[in-house]
Amino acid sequence: MLRYVVRRLLFGLVALFGVSLITFLATHLSGDVTWLLVPMDASEAEIAAVRQRYGLDLPLYQQYAIYLQNVLSGDFGTSIKYNTPVLELVWSRVPGTLVLAGSGFLLALMIGVSLGINAALHRGTRIDTGLTLFGLIGQAMPGFWVAIMLQLVFAVSLGWLPTGGSGSFRHLVMPAIAVSWFSIAAFLRLTRSAMLEVLDADYVKFARVKGNPERVVILRHALRNALIPLVTFAGLNLGALLGGTVVIESVFAWPGLGKLMIDAIASRDYPIVQAGVLTTATLVIMINLCVDLLYGLLDPRMRNE
Amino acid sequence: MSAGTIPLLDVRGLRVYVHTKDGTVRAVDGASFKIERGEALGLVGESGSGKSMTCQAIMQIEPRPAAVIEEGEVLLDGEDLLKKSARDMQRVRGNRIGMILQDPLSSLNPVMTIGDQLIEALRLSDKTSKRSQLRQQAIVALERVGIAKADQRVHAYPFEFSGGMRQRVAAAIAIARYPDLLIADEPTSALDVTTQHRFLELLKDLKRERGMSLLLVTHDLGVVAGTCDRVAVMYGGRVVEIGKLEQILRQPRHPYTRALLKAVPQFHGRRLERLFQISGEPPNNREDLPGCHFAPRCSEVDQRCDAEYPPTVHYDDASCTACWRLVPEDET
Amino acid sequence: MSNDTIVSVEPAPSALLDSASRARPYRMKRYPFLALVLLAPLILFGLFGPQLNLHNPAAIDPANALLPPAFAGGDWQYALGTDHMGRDILSRVIDGARSSLIVALFGVALAGMIGTLVGMMAGFFGGRTDEVLMRLVDIQLAIPPILLAVLLAAVIGGGLTTVVATLTITFWSTYARIVRGETLSLMQRDFIALARVAGASRSRIMFRHVLPNLLSSVVVLATLQLGAAVGLEAALSFLGLGIQPPESAWGLMIADGRLYMSQAWWIPTLPGLAIVMTVMGANMLGDWTRDWLDPGLRRL
């Protein structure tokens, strides 16, 4: 078990390195960034000075080394636009994104999984067909469109909920639904098929044959085994969810990391983009690690690896 | 047979049809047999004869929604199980009828220890004892089925056991609540010969200890010969012959039974005789054949056989057969 | 015959007359009718868009701005209404279909080719190659697609190339994983050993023997991903990172329409419906293809 954990950790680190490299290269490949940092009418000398100050005249690999050093010591540079340390900015926005992603995830999990179980239990009936259809349509709706439709109906037409911003539970409702939408459908389909497979298994029959009440058969035997593929998928999904928050944050003006990054793109504020992507990637990798660990816990067969 | 006591299990005219997109398969098409208390009945037949589905129907664990019990009665001590509510049927399972499934590997939940699975069964009959007490009982049960170091093994997972041991564990679980009837659906098919033998001995011991009845489903006549008191032979979804073990083995009445026995490889002295094969193929249970299902392959067929399904001739309480050849002239 | 005493003779059970099934079996649709119905517009528009258009999708006509669609009080001349710049929405939807179609096809095709190649190599050569390639997959999976697009857009700006690049980079890993798995199991099969023994070169084995057996999985995966590709493209266009004006794209239309939501609900709604129809059709087609080509791939 310990070996398993260590291995996954190492892989995570390698992945992180890869991401940092990619983000670094990306921003530096877009051309000489010097001109962003100086006023339009700067002289050659001034430009050269700026270059030197930011270490932009060094070879690329050295720049990367410096970059890494900085990152590890917590220095992500300074925002070009706001002139504040990027770390502060990013750090202040992370909770917002986490809240949104977290609530979306929980919502999707609760609704999607229970609907999926229902569909599997009533396989072949109209409930099943209806739910599957719902899943199909739901997966086809882009998150941002759902967000806008929600706004249209509940904020603009009915006026029940605010169109955007944050600060209260009411502000969270629509964004969370929008974020979870796609995942609900995905979880529904996945749970349904995982359950169907498990329900056909002999050990479920055996559990029934022992005389267990149906509820116990479903929950203790079927679901526990169906959960295993579900957990892996849920973890991967969370990563996709984090990407989804980016868009939703923009629609609802929700103060999170995603919106920060999108705005930063528009204003060409590279340090923010870099730091944002790196942070998100770290989060995703950490989540994947947790998923792997959870998987090991759930399936005793894995523990002996 | 003591007339007057009702049999423990009385299956009458059971029909189980499976509805697939390619048509309806008549898996069981009018099966009837009885099992007395303390008796071991062997249910013999080829794959597709309906034996497994019969067992599943008795326990009402047939694969819904495709499989439907269309007709029939399953009387347990006189009560029709098919008329019971789901809740009541749940109380019957494990408690009055236990079952061992065919594949030991897949019968046990892979993510639960076998101790927990045993305790789960015990708990269903005993809601008051403490968990530690139940664990003790579980250890005793494992020892009884011949698992060594039971006190350690009780914490192990199914994948840590061999096939034979898993089947023993399944047996331990199935009889944990001391049911009146144990249904074993091809319990030895996945085991090698020596393990088979040991397992069957185990079943016999358990039967003796508790006076438990046994419904042993198999396609292997050898298994039947060593364990059963009576034998029921199924073909094409119907029971074609029932009789005491001796009678079936020595003087089989139905042509199919006779063919089955002929097909068992015989050693005469040192030479192995040429293997006998029943010609033809098992029936495709989708078509509705008007006559006897075995007619296409029967060596003694006559025109009555193709025209109409033969009536069942009862000889005594313990045996019967369904063959035109054996129907006395005055009855046709 | 036998001299046994016969106790009774019981007639055979009569045939069950009403064998009408009480349960409805699962039927696989023979042809993906619904999927094709949903996809037909996209394909038609994609191929024949310019010819079908009544209006020039880019034509700005402020006098006719914000007209409602025909079924909500407007004119049939502008069947789906106009947007804030007076452009005919129907025409723009049709035009957007072309963009989406091209981008999605290209993206998925490229991703498929690269992913299959990588997966084959990982499975075929194993060892170090496998480890390295799979690490790459892990790295790519750690970056959510939108962020990837964000990065790319920061580097090369928005536009068609960005979208296709994003799609390719996002989707190749799924191919790689699955193809690797399939390759590994194929390698165990006898016909590969036979080819080796016969002296075939490695690349020959890979392309003549392994690849053809992978094709059905790859095709299934590709059809399954088409829907996701269209969805991703829409999201990118919505954010301004994808297809740029004056080209039309559904995501772009929705972004524009947002601002006029309260006055003209149809501007963001209708293109969205187009997306839903298309993605649904693509997903259904994908499912059907998978069921048709290899039901064993249910897990995908």
CATH number at residue B90: 3.40.50.300
Total structural domains in chain B?
1
Lowest-confidence segment of B186-195, C72-81, C178-187 by average pLDDT: C72-81
Q: Is B331 on the interface with C (CB under 8 A)?
A: yes
Residues, chain A: 305
Please say whether the beta carbons of C142 and A239 come within 8 A. Answer: yes
Q: Is B114 on the interface with A (CB under 8 A)?
A: no
| Nearest CB partner across the interface for B70, out of C16, C25, C27 | C16
* 3-state secondary structure (DSSP) of residue C289: helix
The yes-or-no verdict on residue C26 having pLDDT over 50 is no
Q: How many CB atoms lie within 10 A of CB A83?
A: 7
The reported pLDDT for the residue numbered B35 is: 93
Mean pLDDT (whole number) for C196-201? 76
Q: What is the pLDDT of residue A167?
A: 74
Q: Quick check: A250 contacting C, CB < 8 Å?
A: yes
* Residue B21 in domain: yes
Report the phi/psi class of residue B322: left, alpha or beta, with left for phi > 0 and alpha for psi in -120 to 50: beta
With cut-offs at 50, 70 and 90, classify the pLDDT of residue B153: confident
Asked if the model's pLDDT at residue B260 lies above 70, the reply is: yes
B36 versus C69: which is more confidently predicted?
B36
Helix-strand-coil percent breakdown of chain B, rounded to 5?
35, 25, 40
Q: Is the pLDDT of residue B177 over 80?
A: yes
Give the three-state DSSP class for B234. strand
pLDDT band at residue B256, thresholds of 50, 70 and 90?
confident
Which of C23, C234, C284 shows the shortest C-beta gap to A142? C234
Distance from first CA to last CA of chain B, Å, rounded? Answer: 29
Confidence band, pLDDT 50/70/90 cuts, at residue C27: very low
pLDDT score, position B40 = 93
List of chain B residues whose C-beta atoms are within 8 Å of the C-beta of residue A299 = 110-111
C33 CB contacts (<8 Å, ≥6 apart)? none
Give the pair of three-digit tokens for residue A265.
């793109």
Tokens of B223: 């298994």
Write down the pLDDT at residue B181. 93
A96-100, C76-80, C84-88, C288-292: range with highest mean pLDDT: A96-100
Residue C1 is predicted with a pLDDT of 44
| % residues pLDDT > 90 (chain C) | 3
C-alpha span between A113 and C152 (Å, rounded): 35
* Amino acid of residue A247: V
So what's the pLDDT on residue B42? 93
The pLDDT of residue C294: 61
User: Taking residues C52-79, what's their average pLDDT?
Assistant: 72
pLDDT of the residue at A265? 73
Per-residue pLDDT of B262-314, as tens digits, reads 777 666 666 666 667 777 777 766 666 777 777 777 877 777 777 778 888 88
H or E element: which one contains C216? helix C211-239
For B15, nearest residue in chain C (alpha carbons)? C16
Q: Which string of b and e fits A21-31 if b means at least 16 CB within 10 Å?
A: ebbbebbbebe
In this predicted structure, which of A35-44, B212-221, C142-151 has the lowest mean pLDDT? Answer: A35-44
What's the pLDDT score for residue A30? 59
Q: If DSSP codes are grouped into helix, strand and coil, which group holds residue C157? A: coil
According to the model, what pLDDT value does residue C80 have? 78
pLDDT exceeds cutoff 90 at C83: no
Q: Which domain holds residue B54?
A: 9-96+179-331
pLDDT of residue B41: 94
B70:C10 CB<8 A: no
pLDDT of residue A305: 40
- Give dist(CA B232, CA B235) in Å, integer: 10
* pLDDT score for C21: 40
Residue B298 lies in a domain: yes
* Closest to B10 in 3D by CA, of B109, B91, B82: B82
pLDDT, tens digit, 9 for 90 and up, residues C236-250: 888 888 888 777 888
Domains and CATH numbers, chain A: 2-72 (no CATH), 90-304 (1.10.3720.10)
Q: What is the pLDDT of residue B286?
A: 63
Question: In terms of residues, how long is chain B?
Answer: 332
| pLDDT score recorded for residue B233 | 92
CB–CB of B199/B167 below 8 Å? yes
Residue B46 lies in a domain: yes
In a domain, B164, yes or no: no
Interface with chain A: mutation pick from C155, C230, C252, C269, highest number of A CBs within 10 Å: C155
Instruction: Find the helix or strand (DSSP H, E) in which B185 lies.
Output: strand B181-185
**Centroid of chain to Cα B10:** 14
| CA atoms lying within 13 Å on the CB side of residue C34 | 13
Residue B310 at interface with chain C, using a CB cutoff of 8 Å: yes
Residue A208, chain B, CB below 8 Å: the answer is yes
Q: Give the pLDDT confidence score for residue C4 in this predicted structure.
A: 65
C133 touches chain A (CB under 8 A): no
Which range has the top average pLDDT, A36-50, A278-292, C67-81, C168-182?
A: C168-182
Note whether B93 contacts A: Cβ–Cβ < 8 A.
yes
Residue B217 — very low, low, confident or very high, per pLDDT cuts 50/70/90?
very high
Please give the ipTM for the structure prediction: 0.77
Rounded-to-integer distance, Cα B236 and Cα B220, Å? 17
> How many interface pairs between A and B have CB atoms less than 8 angstroms apart?
83
Category of B79 on φ-ψ map: left (φ > 0), alpha (ψ -120 to 50) or beta: beta
- Spans of chain A, pLDDT less than 50: 305
User: Is C279 in CB contact (< 8 Å) with chain A?
Assistant: yes
Which residue in chain C has the smallest CA separation from B18? C21
Q: Would you say residue C18 has pLDDT above 60?
A: no
B91 assigned to some structural domain = yes
User: What is the full DSSP assignment across chain A?
Assistant: -HHHHHHHHHHHHHHHHHHHHHHHHHHHHT--THHHHS-TT--HHHHHHHHHHTTTTS-HHHHHHHHHHHHHTT---B-TTT-SBHHHHHHHHHHHHHHHHHHHHHHHHHHHHHHHHHHHHTTTSHHHHHHHHHHHHHHHS-HHHHHHHHIIIIIIIS--S-SS--SSHHHHHHHHHHHHHHHHHHHHHHHHHHHHHHHTSHHHHHHHHTT--HHHIIIIIIIHHHHHHHHHHHHHHHHHHHHHHHHHHHHHT--SHHHHHHHHHHTT-HHHHHHHHHHHHHHHHHHHHHHHHHHHHH-GGGGG-
pLDDT tens column, C207-241: 777 787 788 788 888 888 888 888 888 888 888 88
Q: Can you read off the two tokens belonging to residue C90?
A: 């129907």
Minimal Cβ distance to A151: which of C147, C239, C261: C261
Mean pLDDT score, B28-50: 89
* Structural domains in chain C plus CATH codes: 33-52+62-298 (1.10.3720.10)
Nearest C-alpha of chain C: how many angstroms from B21? 6
Q: Nearest CA of chain B to the CA of A212: how many Å? A: 7
Over range C93-97, report the average pLDDT. 82
Structure tokens at A266: 């528009």
Helix count and strand count (H, E) for chain B: 12, 14
**B128-132, B199-203, B275-279, C277-281: the lowest-pLDDT one:** B275-279
Q: What is the per-residue pLDDT for A31?
A: 57
Q: Which residue of B has its CA nearest to A222?
A: B109
Q: Which amino acid is at B214?
A: L
Interface contact flag, B121 A211, Cβ < 8 Å = yes
Residues 6+ apart with CB under 8 A from B188: B167, B195, B196, B199, B200, B218, B220, B223
Rounded CA Rg of chain B = 21
* Residue in A206, A214, A225 nearest the CB of B90: A214
- Residues in B closer than 8 angstroms to C291, CB to CB, are none
- pLDDT tens by residue, A82-119: 777 777 778 888 888 888 888 888 899 899 989 988 88
Residue of C nearest to B64 (CA): C23
Distance, CA of B37 to CA of B1 (rounded, Å) = 11
Where b means 16+ CB within 10 Å and e means fewer, C131-168 reads: eebbebbbbbbbbbbbbbbbbbbbbeebbbebbbbbbb
Q: Determine the residue among B60, B62, B89, B107 to mutate to test chain A binding: the one whose Cβ has the most chain A Cβ atoms within 10 Å.
A: B107
